[in-house]
Structures are given as structure tokens and as C-alpha cells.
Amino acid sequence: MKKMKLPMAIGLLLAWPIATGLTLPLRGPLPKSRPAVTAPAPETNTVMSSQGTAGRAAAGIAIPQNKPTPPVAKQSTTREEPEAPSSAAEATDTGPTADPQHQEAPLETGGVAKDDAPGDGKATDAEPAKQTVPADPPPPAEEPEALAACLADLRAIGASFETQPAIDGDTGCGMAAPIVLKTLLPDVTLEPEATLRCETALQLARMTRDMLKPAAEAAFPDKKALTGIRHASGYVCRNRNGAETGKVSEHAYGNAIDIAALRFGDEEMPVLIARQDDGTAEAAFQRAFNAIACLYFTTVLSPGSDATHQDHMHLDVIERKSGFRYCR
């Protein structure tokens, strides 16, 4: 059959209802209500079989991925609130902590506040830290060989002394091997006896034998020979110059002695301030004594060197760097 032309086909379609008596309805069909959609069952963590998975994939159905559920942070059920006062008195506290002018002192040794004191009546949750007081350092130790050599030299000079037990005083004072020195030489006494370290005693005895006696014989040919040295202080546990605070004196370690006077027979000559313009034998001897002492002691404070050394001479054997000596 030959193909019908397009215009002729359209005409026949339009004429067909008229020829057959068919007409279109005035109202079209009403739409039906949409069927209820059933929610798909939730996916479980159970792994599907390979056959079911393959089937769904072939049908074009998306396969949900089993992702792990992220953990949910737990919220604390407790609240941070200030501790309630244990009594009405604490609730209305007007003591030091309530005073803006009273600040808590910084913590000291042992972790106890300076203003805190045991038995203040305030309740605490924890035991208060116990205050630890640092122990006093022990007296400086003596090297056994050096001590033995010192004692042997002191005996050889002719000094008279007695060894004593260690002195362990307060605040670090004391000596590991003290001696009580009675005489410096067989004919020169120490008045009164003094407790010292051996090194201090030995240097005093050497100075007396080698320099002081010859200098006195040269300065006072008409006097009797030197027979005694009077001191004002040997070992004593105190600060420098007797101050309440400050550094500990070398007297507290047995390293120092204060010379107050020299005795020639029955005559005593005090240690005095030697003026530079004084040309007497006594002044010359005093200036020589000052210089002699600094050859044996590392510290020499002559009479007049300061306000606390007006009537005696301070001598000590403190060790300084590079052999430095302090002589005034």
C-alpha cells in the first residue's frame, strides 16, 4: 500500500469522530488518590548476602553504605560550684581573706603560706602541708691528712693545746675538729685559753715566733720579752660584728681571733690605733704588727679600720679566690 500523504491523514483523523457520531466527554476522569507510601525498613548493620546485593545492584536500586555511628560526647551531670561554707561564721567571714588590703603571702619552704598557722579553726578538705625547716649545715669538714700535719706542726713549735669533740652549733656554727689553745710558744701564753681551728692556732703561733717577738725586741729593747697575748674573742657563734642579721662571722667557724693586747712581763700594752704622723716606737711597732699579721692571715682589720674595730685587731684565715688578702 502506498503511503498516505500527511495532510490527507490529518484530515481523516479529524473527520472520523463526525462520521461515526462519537464526541468527547464534557469532564475528564477524576484523579485517583495517591496510594500510601510505606517507608522502607531501616537498614541494619547486618551484611547482606552477595546474591541479594548483586540482585539489587542489577535492578538499579541504590545500596546504602553501613557507616559507623559517630560517638556521642557524654555530658557531665555534675556542676562546678563553690564549696558551701561549713558554718555561718565562715559564710560571714570578715577576716584576712575578705580584706582587699590583705593579700595572701607567697608560699615559702614547705608550701605553707606565710600567714597560715596551724589551728586557725578553718576547715580544709586536705591535710595542710607540713612546714619543713631546712637542717643547719654541718661544720666544714677537715681533711684528715691536713689536720694531722697541722697538729704535728703546732706541737713542734711548742704550743700547748687540747683536742676537743666536734662542735655542731646552731645556724651552721661549729667546727669538725676544734682545739683549745693554751700557749703559743713555750714562753708565750694565750690569755685566756681559746677554742679555735688548728689552722688559726698554727698561723698565730708562727706569726708570734717568726715576726712578732723579733719586732717587739727591736722596738722595745728596754722592755721585757713578749710573754703573753691577750685576746677578746675566739670561737663564738654569732653574725659579723654581732649583728642580728647578715652573714655569719668567721668566729663561728673557729677561723678568727681578736687580739686586744700584748703582755711584756707584768706590763700590758693594748693594741692601739697607730697614727701615720706618730713617730714613737709604739706607733712604729703597731704599724709593723699590722703588716706582719697580713703575711699569715687572709683578713686583718687593724684598730681604727672601722667603727667596730677600735680597740682590737681582727685576724682570720678565711679562704679567698686566687689567694687574695684583705688588710686594713
Report pLDDT digits (tens) over 110-126.
Answer: 333 333 333 444 444 45
The answer to whether residue 223 sits within a structural domain is yes
The answer to whether residue 281 sits within a structural domain is yes
The answer to whether residue 251 sits within a structural domain is yes
Rounded to an integer, the average pLDDT of 180-200 is 98
The answer to whether residue 295 sits within a structural domain is yes
pLDDT in tens, 51-77: 444 445 445 555 555 544 444 444 443
The answer to whether residue 219 sits within a structural domain is yes
Strand-pair category, 326-327 with 299-301: parallel
Q: Please determine, for residue 148, whether its predicted confidence score (pLDDT) is greater than 90.
A: yes
Amino acid identity of residue 268, one-letter, is E
∠ CA(140), CA(189), CA(204), 5° rounding? 40
**Cell numbers linked to 137:** 649545715
Strand-pair category, 326-327 with 267-270: unpaired
The answer to whether residue 176 sits within a structural domain is yes
pTM over 0.95: no
Give the phi and the psi of residue 25 in degrees, each rounded to 5: -65, 150
The answer to whether residue 59 sits within a structural domain is no
Domain extent for 224 = 144-327
Q: Please determine, for residue 146, whether its predicted confidence score (pLDDT) is greater than 70.
A: yes
- Number of structural domains found in the chain: 1
The answer to whether residue 135 sits within a structural domain is no
**Cell numbers linked to 127:** 591535710
